[in-house]
Structures are given as C-alpha cells and as structure tokens.
Chain A
Amino acid sequence: GNSVTQMEGPVTLSEEAFLTINCTYTATGYPSLFWYVQYPGEGLQLLLKATKADDKGSNKGFEATYRKETTSFHLEKGSVQVSDSAVYFCALSDNSDYKLSFGAGTTVTVRA
C-alpha cells in the first residue's frame, strides 16, 4: 500500500534560518504529492503540490521538488519567520483510491 515517511520533529529554528523537512514515499504508479500545513487549532491548509516527476511546487517561499528516482518530496524554505511555526504534513494521492495518505507530521517552531 501507499505510505509516507517524513522527518519527525520537533524542529526548532531561529528566524531567518533555512528549513528542510524530509519526506519520502512508497506508492504504486505515479502519485500526486502534497505538503499541507496546520496552524494551532486549525484545519489543514494546502501549502503546495506537484503532480508529476520533476515538478516543483512553490508557495509563500516554500518549495518542494517531486523526485521519482529517490521517491522524495522534501520541503524547503530559505528564511523562516515566526509565523511559519506550525505542523507540516507530507501527503500523497495515487489518483485512484480517492484518499490522501499522510506522513506523521513535523512540528516546526521558529523563535524570534
């Protein structure tokens, strides 16, 4: 079955530091890949997505590239802000079973 493994947190950074959250996946076929973010007390918000190999998703300074050869979709941001403190979830959809498979989530705290 499909599965997503992401770097476990928590991750604590200083403002303007570089952020990387690793995500690897196992899936049949060619899944779509997503990063969702969850702020305290809220639901999930789509951060970015990529639907085919070598696609780069980007949003709000965050980027992730769909790497089929390494089955990875690592999230990066060059300079984090306090407002980026949240839980980040990597997810995949294999486009046939009508569901998302999520990683365990990575809690990121950015200190001023």
Chain B
Amino acid sequence: KAGVTQTPRYLIKTRGQQVTLSCSPISGHRSVSWYQQTPGQGLQFLFEYFSETQRNKGNFPGRFSGRQFSNSRSEMNVSTLELGDSALYLCASSYRTGEDTIYFGEGSWLTVV
C-alpha cells in the first residue's frame, strides 16, 4: 500500500510569507504527526492529530499551526516565515499511536530566503 505522501517536496519562500504543507497518511491510519528537522536542533515534535483533534503540541511558537481533515489528511501552516524556519518538515502516520509503529514520509524541504 502507498506510504505517507507529503507535498510539496521542495519549496523556497521569502521571509514574512506563509507556507502550507500537506500530508496524506497511509490508508487506514488516523493519527498524523509533524516533526521539524534541522542540523542544529535535530528532530523536534510539532504536533499530533487524531480524528481531527490535536492531542499534543510541541514547543513551537503560535506561527506554527496544523489541522486534520475528516479523511485523515493533514496540513501544517507556518505564518510570517523566518530564516530559522528553513528545515525538513516530516509528516508521520500511525493507526492509533501508543505502541503502534509510526511511519514517516519523505518530507518537505523548506528554504526561507
């Protein structure tokens, strides 16, 4: 079956702009989570959604937001982009989480100039 699909794969934005990233989970998976990966900070948890409800949120400013739709697809939005937001944004999905295995997409590479 298809894996976790993220779009777009690569994008370049200007400081002050906003960006929306999309994630389609593995079919049947209802939990979607997002992570930011940077060389300096490593992998950091952004937020997790299950059945359209945010169940946990990481320590990021309010400029970072997300949502999940009834078909489990998810989007994350970053407003007022800063240079430091340049990163690989990874989406992951699982059936319910807990002991369930979490599967990752290939990520969206965001460069802010």
Contact = CB atoms under 8 A, between A and B. Distances in A.
A32 B99 contact: yes
Interface in B41-90: 42-43, 45, 48, 50, 55-56, 58, 90
A89 B48 CA distance: 20
A89 B92 CA distance: 15
B99 A36 contact: no
A99 B92 CA distance: 10
B31 interface: yes
Main secondary structure of the interface of B (DSSP, over half): strand
A93 interface: yes
A99 B57 CA distance: 9
Contacts, number: 58
Contact of B42 (A36, A45, A98, A105): A105
Contacts of B58: 99
Given A98-B50, A102-B43, A43 B55 contact: no
A93 B101 CA distance: 10
Given A43-B107, A98-B97, A102-B43, A93 B90 contact: no
Contact of A95 (B43, B45, B50, B99): B99
B55 A98 contact: yes
Interface of B: 4, 6, 31, 33, 35, 42-43, 45, 48, 50, 55-56, 58, 90, 92, 97-99, 101-107
Interface of A: 32, 34, 36, 42-46, 49, 51, 89, 93, 95-105
Given A44-B92, A97-B56, A98-B56, 8 more contacts: A44-B104, A45-B104, A93-B98, A95-B98, A96-B98, A98-B55, A99-B48, A100-B43
